[in-house]
Amino acid sequence: MSLDAAAPKPNWLSRLAHPGAFMGWSRPVLLPLGLLVGLLFALGLWFAFFNSPADYQMGDTVRIMYVHVPNAWLSQFVYGVMAVASLGTLVWRHPLADVAAKAAAPLGAGFTALALYTGSLWGRPTWGTFWEWDGRMTSTLVLFFIYLGIIALWRAIDDQLRAARIVAVVTLVGALDIPIIKFSVDWWNTLHQPSSILTPSGPRMPGSLLTPLFIMLVAFTLLFLLLLLVSMRTEILRRRADSLSRQAVGSA
C-alpha cells in the first residue's frame, strides 16, 4: 500500500514519475521555478498597471482582464491536467497520477473561483450586474460545481487507493462531458435571447493589451505548476505518515 510499491519501469518517464524519484528531482526544481514565477508576475503587473492604456469605454477596469483571463484559462487547463492524471490512474495504475489528480483539484477550484470572482467584479461596471447567465460565465460556474463535487468525493473516501480510482472515473466522465456542457450552455443562451449582451471577444484587442496579457498567462500557468509540485510533495509525505501510523494502530 506504500506509494513506493510501484516498480519503476525502464522508460525514462515512469522512472521520473516513480514517487521516490519524484521526491528527489522535484525538490531542487522548486526554488528556481518560484523565482521565475515571481519575476514574471512583477513584469506582467508592471506592464498591466503602468504600461498599458485604459480602455476607451471600460476605463481602468480593463486591467482586471490581466487577472481574469489567465484564471479563466487555467480553470480549463487544470481540468485537462486532472483528466490526464486520471488516465494514468486507471490505465497505468500509477500512484503518482493519483497524487497529481488529488493535488490539482483544489487548485483548479481556486483558479475557477478567481475567474468567477474577477469576472463578476468586471461585470459590475461593464454590465451593471454581478452575474449574467452568459454562456461562458455559466459554463465556468458549472465547471466550478464539478470541481467542488470532485473535491468532496476525495474527502468522502478514506482509502486513498479506492478514492483515486473512483474519482478518476468521475473526472473522465466530466472530461467527456465538459465540452458538451460548454457548447450546450452557449447554444442555450444565444437560443433564448438575442445576442444583446456584449460577449467579450479577444481578437479585437490591440497589442498593447496583448503583451501584458500574454505575460500574465505564462506567469499564472507556471504558478499553477509550482503549487502543484508543492502540494504533491506534501500529499506524498502525508500518505507515508499515515500508512506508518496505521500499521502502528493495527499492531496495537
Residues that bind other proteins (CB under 8 A): 1, 5, 90, 120, 129-134, 138, 141-142, 145-146, 148-153, 155-159, 161-162, 165-166, 169-170, 172-174, 176-177, 180-181, 183-185, 187-189, 191-193, 242-243, 246-247, 249-252
Instruction: Specify the DSSP class assigned to residue 195.
Output: T
Q: Look at the block and give the residue holding cell 450586474.
A: 129
Task: Report in angstroms the alpha-carbon separations of 140 from 46, 61, 168, 240, 245.
Answer: 28, 21, 21, 36, 40
Q: How far is the CB of 100 from other proteins (least distance, A)?
A: 19
- 192, interface contact from other proteins, ligand HEM, none, CB < 5-8 Å by kind: other proteins
Q: Are 64 and 121 in contact (CB under 8 A)?
A: yes
- Residue 68 interacting with ligand HEM (CB under 6 A): yes
3 state DSSP class of 85: helix
Q: Which of these ranges, 63-71, 84-92, 153-161, 173-181, lies near ligand HEM under the rule CB under 6 A?
A: 63-71
Cell of 66: 490581466
- Under the binding rule (CB under 6 A), the answer on residue 211 touching ligand HEM is no
Segment lying near ligand HEM (by CB under 6 A), choices 86-94, 119-127, 158-166, 220-228? 119-127
Q: Which is nearer to ligand HEM, 108 or 119 (CB)?
A: 119
201 scored as a contact of ligand HEM (CB under 6 A): yes
Of 89, 126, 171, 189, the one binding ligand HEM by CB under 6 A: 126
**202 is a site residue for ligand HEM (CB under 6 A):** yes
Instruction: Please give the grid coordinates belonging to residue 155.
Output: 474527502
* Residue 74 CB, nearest approach to other proteins (Å): 19
- Could you say whether residue 72 binds ligand HEM (CB under 6 A)? yes
> 240 with 91: CB under 8 angstroms?
no
Q: Does 240 bind ligand HEM (CB under 6 A)?
A: no
DSSP 24: H
Nearest to 168 by CA among 100, 68, 236: 100
Considering the complex, state which of residue 46 and residue 133 has its C-beta at the smaller distance from other proteins.
133
Residues 226, 6: Cα–Cα separation, whole Å: 25
Write down the least CB distance from residue 214 to ligand HEM, Å: 11
The residue among 149 and 200 lying less far from ligand HEM, judged by its C-beta, is 200
Q: Minimum distance from CB of 248 to other proteins (Å)?
A: 10
Give the residues across from 59 on adjacent strands. 55
**Residue 186 near residue 138, CB atoms below 8 Å:** no
In 156-252, DSSP assigns E strands to: none
As a whole number of Å, the end-to-end CA separation of the chain is 19
The Cα–Cα gap between 169 and 157 comes to 14
| Binding residues for ligand HEM (CB under 6 A) | 65, 68-69, 72-73, 76, 115-116, 119-120, 122-123, 126, 136-137, 140, 200-202
